[in-house]
Amino acid sequence: MGEFQFLILTVIILALLFDFINGFHDTANAIATSVSTRALNPSLAIFMAAGLNFLGAMVSTGVAKTIGGDIVSSANIVDEKVIIAALVGAIVWNLLTWYLGIPSSSSHALVGGLIGAVLISVGVTGLNWSGIGKIVAALIISPVAAIITGIIMMNLMFIFFGSFSPHAVNQNFKRLQVISAAAMSFSHGSNDAQKSMGIITLALFSGGFIEVFEVPTYVKILCAAAMAFGTAMGGWRIIKTVGGKIFKLEPISGFAADLNSSAVVFGATLLHLPVSTTHVVSGSIMGVGTAKRVNAVHWGVAQEMVKAWVMTIPITALIGALVFWAVDFIF
């Protein structure tokens, strides 16, 4: 019993650590555009994002249930060693990409880690392939949708405000970026924090600590707080990439990118689908940049980001499998 409780506690600690790292890793998603256009002071932007990440994380548990229930064929086949391996895989990848300043998906990392750990522990029958297909489809479609809607959003801005002085337009949109950054922070919390909620709830359910797969209130609060605290620590390496290396943003384009991203992410939350806010924000920036001029987007940077995205699930699956082997050998 002591070993079992130790493993459950390890799952909870690692899940909260994942949320914390997700917070500072993905801070750029919510505030990079407003910081790069100097609409918000960096410190103020980070603390605003932290507060709204917390509030967003408390609004729903639909994504948590998808993460906890749609990847594996049955919660009964998942033990704490599988979940520990999945979390370690995701954490290692997040830290590596953060250190290199590469925007990558925490969602992809967690899904990949869980897939690898289940494959090595149970085999292919342990995975819910239809559920995985739905999650992967959402992760792929969402940035493409963000690019398309970003182009539409920016073209609408040109139609409505193209006749005004560029200086006056940007001065006004610099103020409005506070609102769009707030919306992005809230939607980020509403989707991303739920991934750890789902993992912790899966561990509690499979361990018999809860009778039904419902996210307990204390789990919601812990995960929301961990993400908010991580956000407050900042993520400057990735802010530089998202905020300036993809496309040189102005206040009006930054507002369009944030508003578009928040709509796509929160829409996914309402549909109980986990998406990568990193992918969505990057897609939105590519979209608004393309609307201005196709060659205004630094497609070389975008290409490097796509490579990281493609590699995430296979690499984290491999790490998850190796960590499960090591944990199973020890325990």
Question: pLDDT for 165-180, tens place per residue?
Answer: 888 898 899 889 889 9
| Residue 211, helix vs strand vs coil | coil
**Average of per-residue pLDDT values in the chain:** 84
Residues 272-289 as b/e (b if ≥16 CB within 10 A, e otherwise) read bbbbbbbbbbbbbbbbbb
Residue 41's DSSP bridge partners are none
Question: pLDDT for 203-253, tens place per residue?
Answer: 888 778 888 888 898 998 998 888 888 877 765 555 555 555 666 778 898
Query: How many distinct structural domains can be found in the chain?
Result: 1
Q: Minimal CA–CA distance to 152: which of 263, 242, 250?
A: 263
Per-residue pLDDT at 319 exceeds 60: yes
Across 272-298, average pLDDT = 86
pLDDT of amino acid 321: 94
Question: pLDDT for 121-169, tens place per residue?
Answer: 989 988 988 888 888 888 889 989 999 999 999 999 999 998 888 888 9
CB atoms within 10 A of CB 229: 17
Question: pLDDT for 48-72, tens place per residue?
Answer: 888 888 888 888 777 877 877 778 8
Q: Minimal CA–CA distance to 241: which of 96, 32, 46?
A: 32
Say what percent of the chain tops pLDDT 90.
Answer: 25
d(CA 88, CA 99): 16
Query: Considering only 142-151, 202-211, 285-294, 301-310, which range has the smallest mean pLDDT?
Result: 301-310
Residues 6+ apart with CB under 8 A from 311: none
Q: To the nearest 10°, the Cα dihedral for 310, 67, 89, 27?
A: 70
* Domain, as residue range, for 135: 2-330
Query: Considering only 109-118, 209-218, 286-295, 305-314, which range has the smallest mean pLDDT?
Result: 305-314
Residue 72's DSSP bridge partners are 127
Show the DSSP H helices in the chain as ranges.
Answer: 2-25, 27-36, 42-57, 62-69, 80-100, 106-121, 129-161, 166-206, 217-232, 236-240, 251-270, 277-292, 299-330
